[in-house]
Amino acid sequence: MADVETLKAEIKKLNARATQAKMDLHDLSEELPVNWERIPEVAKLAHEAHAALMAARKALAEVA
């Protein structure tokens, strides 16, 4: 079950990363139109963080 525990630990890290990316995107949206140029960059990071989290959750579901 080490794989399950490893995945759970990874999901915890990815969840924190995804939550921070979500907050960064939210903060950016509240500051608009200031820093509007950063929208693609911040949105890409949020998308990647959430995609990694969903992939890890799917992997855990397949193992568990």
pLDDT averaged over 10-residue windows placed end to end, the chain, 64 residues: 88 98 98 97 98 97 90
pLDDT of 1 reads: 54
* d(C-alpha 40, C-alpha 56), whole Å: 24
* d(C-alpha 19, C-alpha 40), whole Å: 18
How many domains does the chain fold into?
1
pLDDT of 64 reads: 80
Alpha helices in the chain (DSSP H): 2-31, 39-63
CATH number of the domain to which 46 belongs: 1.10.287.660
pLDDT of 2 reads: 65
3-state secondary structure at position 32: coil
Model pTM score = 0.90
